[in-house]
Amino acid sequence: MNKIVIYFSYTNHTKMIAEKIKEKLGCDILELKPVIPYSDNYQEVVDDENNSETSNYLPEIEDINIDLNKYNEIIIGFPTWWYRPCPVMRAFLTKYNLDGKKVIPFATNAGWLGQSFEEIKELCPNAQNEMNIVFGTKYQENKLVTKESDIDNWIDSLAQ
């Protein structure tokens, strides 16, 4: 299997896990970026994005500059934003067709996953739903609360 981990991260929780996946599996990695970067002010982003709960507006994302045909397994990582996959990940899955690939999603969130994985399934019907995995982050304290060993075990399970 030729694997890549593709992720978006605003406060680096998802990035930390994506980097770990890259290290442990020795796979490629790609960070998604919006063309217009988000503000550095966390609360401003939370407030500005509030309407993304019901709006289907998607940000423009930077070109990915890789050939997805090279990969048959794609691990996608995203934070939950307003009970849904963050808009950058939704933009990616809307723009690029992953049909026929093994898609393994993981999300980081602060306790309210909402419809995150249901929506990934809709955007990406070939996702391996049983592999969906959530990593918890502590609300307001900005750190991962999931046990390191749980993260390691999950990543190891992807090596097979």
Ligand X SMILES: Cc1cc2nc3c(=O)[nH]c(=O)nc-3n(C[C@H](O)[C@H](O)[C@H](O)COP(=O)(O)O)c2cc1C
Could you say whether residue 110 binds ligand X (CB under 6 A)? yes
* Contact with ligand X (CB under 6 A) among 105, 137, 151, 158: 137
Verify binding: residue 79, ligand X, rule CB under 6 A. yes
Q: Of the listed pieces 19-27, 93-101, 107-115, 126-134, which binds ligand X according to CB under 6 A?
A: 107-115
The terminus-to-terminus CA distance of the chain in angstroms comes to: 9
The helix (H) or strand (E) run that includes residue 116 is helix 116-123
Distances (CA, A) of 41 to 7, 8, 82, 157: 21, 17, 17, 36
d(C-alpha 59, C-alpha 110), whole Å:
23
By CB under 6 A, tell whether 109 contacts ligand X: yes
Provide, rounded to whole angstroms, the least separation between the CB of residue 123 and ligand X.
17
Q: Which is nearer to ligand X, 11 or 132 (CB)?
A: 11
Candidates 3, 6, 13, 117: give the one binding ligand X (CB under 6 A). 13
* Opening angle at CA 41, ends 106 and 65, nearest 5: 50
Facing residues of 30 across strands?
A: 6
Residue 34 dihedral angles phi and psi, to the nearest 5°: -75, 150
Among 71, 81, 106, 117, binds ligand X (CB under 6 A): 81
CA distance to 54, 73, 83, 117, 131, per residue, from 121 (Å): 18, 16, 15, 6, 12
CB 158 within 8 A of CB 17: no
Site track 25-64 with ligand X (rule: CB under 6 A), x = hit:
--------------------xx--x---------------
Kindly tell me which residue out of 3, 6, 10, 71 binds ligand X, with binding defined by CB under 6 A.
10
CB-nearer residue toward ligand X: 59 or 114: 114
Whichever of 72 and 112 has its CB closer to ligand X, that residue is 112
- Residue ranges binding ligand X (CB under 6 A): 9-15, 45-46, 49, 79-83, 108-112, 114, 137
